[in-house]
Amino acid sequence: MAIPDKMTYLAGLCDVLSLRWPDNRAVNLVFHGHSVPAGYACTPWIDTFNAYPHQVHKTLAQRFPFALINVIVTAVGGEDSVSGAARFGEALRHGPDLIVLDYGLNDRRRGLASAERAWRSMIEAALKEKIKLVLMTPSWDRDCAFENESKQTLGAHARLIRSLASEYEAALGDSFSAFERYVSAGGDLNDLLSHVNHPSPLGHSLIAREICSWFPAR
């Protein structure tokens, strides 16, 4: 098994997004996760319109100008994959064409084994309904400015999510690597953060690009 090809994995969905009225239909994209996709900035401030689900919506609306796209955010601040899996039916009830899963940042408190079981539960429930998936590795927090145990643990969760994407042949949104590339190229991590563990609009834009790269323009 391997992570699928970006040009083909969502080809069928991109075909639907390219249809014009009266042949088009609503396309539902569900973002299920914790505070990052929920739009929390400097807690308790919520900055919905700079959060990556909205940025993805804007990019896809430009890329597919005849598409009717519904972006549905079922994310809950403070949640991790175990609690997210327990209410995964909420995501499924929206009839999604695609589900984006983002829990890695908060999964450190659960540990790898519990997180893996929860991720597998959600992935398999979605695949049973033939729903496409984008699995997100965690974005960075302020601890990632240092080579410490917290960063190492976050990296382990990123590797777990990459492995699951490969095993289940799901799309991968590698936020962890996107943040790493920015900092390795000389960028300041503070540019990417609005809070100790929440991205800035620029940080959200890096995450949004990871997702939008799976939607090749027609």
Domain assignment present for residue 217? The answer is: no
What lies within 8 Å, CB to CB, of 38 at 6+ separation is 46, 51, 73, 75, 76, 77
Number of helices (H), then strands (E), belonging to the chain: the values are: 9, 5
Domain assignment present for residue 190? The answer is: yes
Domain assignment present for residue 2? The answer is: no
Domain assignment present for residue 64? The answer is: yes
User: What is the structure's pLDDT at 147?
Assistant: 86
The domain total for the chain is: 1
Residue 139, domain CATH: 3.40.50.1110
Q: Per residue in 151-165, pLDDT tens?
A: 999 999 999 999 999
For residue 54, the enclosing domain spans: 11-212
Q: Per residue in 81-125, pLDDT tens?
A: 999 999 999 999 999 999 999 999 999 999 999 999 999 999 999
Cα–Cα distances in angstroms (integers) from residue 28 to residues 49, 76, 109, 169, in the given order = 18, 19, 31, 21
Taking the C-alpha atoms of residue 192 and residue 181, their distance in angstroms, rounded to an integer, is 12
User: What is the structure's pLDDT at 171?
Assistant: 98
User: What is the structure's pLDDT at 9?
Assistant: 98
Q: In what order do the strands lie in the sheet with 26-33?
A: 68-73, 26-33, 98-102, 132-136, 171-173
What lies within 8 Å, CB to CB, of 116 at 6+ separation is 160, 164
Domain assignment present for residue 5? The answer is: no
Would you say how long the chain is, in residues? Answer: 218
Alpha helices in 95-148 (DSSP H): 112-128
Helix, strand, coil fractions of the chain, as percent rounded to 5: 50, 15, 35
Domain assignment present for residue 218? The answer is: no
Domain assignment present for residue 3? The answer is: no
pLDDT in single tens digits along all 218 residues of the chain: 899 999 999 999 999 999 999 999 999 999 999 999 999 999 899 999 999 999 999 999 999 999 999 999 999 999 999 999 999 999 999 999 999 999 999 999 999 999 999 999 999 999 999 999 999 999 999 999 888 999 999 999 999 999 999 999 999 999 999 999 999 999 999 999 999 999 999 999 999 999 999 999 88
